[in-house]
Amino acid sequence: MREFEFGAERLKQEFEIIKKDPFTHCSCGPDGDDIFKWQAIIMGPPSSPAEDGLFFLSIDIPEDYPFNPPKIKFQTKVYHPSIDEDGNIYVDILEDRWTPAMSIMTLLISIWSMLADPTIVDPSGPLADLDSKERKNFDKKAREWTFKYAMD
């Protein structure tokens, strides 16, 4: 089986699992007929600056999936130290810590958890200079962005 066929089959299996046992705080699936292009929605975690927000993401999956990670990008603006202004996510599991044992849903659950904890994961991320004294200001601005961009 070629990598393309293996990746497509793996994604079909993942999607069937997601349909049978969805996670309550996020959903995802193919965006049209292309099994390698998905979309996702993540609900902001409770008791976080993102609470009550709905965040839309695009997922571009390489043909050699699961041997290489997908590219996941926020389409909804979000203020977070590991997400830049273009929606790029700076987490190691989307780069050098990726393993084929991970799935699209495990990635989304990790991203959902990350929204609740604005810990600096990548020191080259957009808000890498955030310190504990600024946490209150960070939470205020992140909540403002949630109201502005992620709520109707």
Q: Hey, what domains does the chain have and what are their CATH numbers?
A: 3-149 (3.10.110.10)
For residue 121, is pLDDT > 70? no
State residue 13's pLDDT score: 94
Read off φ and ψ for residue 13, nearest 5 degrees: -65, -45
Q: Could you tell me if 64 and 71 are in contact, meaning their C-beta atoms sit under 8 angstroms apart?
A: no
User: For residue 36, which of 7, 14, 56, 15 has the smallest C-alpha distance?
Assistant: 7
User: For residue 106, which of 4, 21, 8, 37 has the smallest C-alpha distance?
Assistant: 21
What mean pLDDT is reported for the chain? 88
Summarize the confidence of residues 91-115 as an average pLDDT: 92
User: For residue 30, which of 4, 66, 60 has the smallest C-alpha distance?
Assistant: 60
Give dist(CA 74, CA 150) in Å, integer. 11
Position with higher pLDDT, 21 vs 41: 41
Q: What is the tens place of the pLDDT at every residue in 44-85?
A: 999 999 999 999 999 999 999 999 999 999 999 999 988 999
Q: Could you tell me if 91 and 114 are in contact, meaning their C-beta atoms sit under 8 angstroms apart?
A: yes
Torsion sign, CA atoms 31, 94, 145, 77: negative
Query: Token pair for residue 125?
Result: 């991320």
